[in-house]
Amino acid sequence: MEDIKMANDTVKKPRSKRKKKEMAGEGAARVRPKGAARGGGETIESVDLVFGINAGIIWDLLNLNGPMSAGGLASSAALRIEDVHGALGWLGREDKIDVKKKGRSRIYSLKP
């Protein structure tokens, strides 16, 4: 990826997905299973960390851009479609989104 030149002549480096999750989930617990080596292996993540952070990202996108499809949300948020569906499920469970059928696709929007 290329650096992005900002209006005030500073250079903004693109953030990795890992850095975004760390910034969004400050204080969220990551637990290493017994016997797992540092720096590798499996980690167990809390439900809040896995779905809640993505739900916040999706909510922000819908708030800024208005109604969107799951595919549009995935490309805008740079998330996998499975992660977007998990986040939409989280938001739906909290009764924060509306879903409308348009042709063969679904359009998601925030509830007023």
Residue-level length of the chain: 112
Give per-residue pLDDT as tens, 34-77.
445 555 567 777 878 888 999 999 999 999 999 999 999 999 99
What does CATH list as the number for 4-110? 1.10.10.10
Q: Which helix (H) or strand (E) holds 91?
A: helix 81-93
Q: Is 66 helix (H, G, I), strand (E, B) or coil?
A: coil
This prediction has a pTM of 0.60
What residues have CB less than 8 Å from 20, skipping those under 6 apart? none
For the chain, domain boundaries: 4-110
pLDDT tens profile 4-37: 554 555 555 555 666 555 555 554 444 444 445 5
Contact 43, 54 (CB under 8 A): no
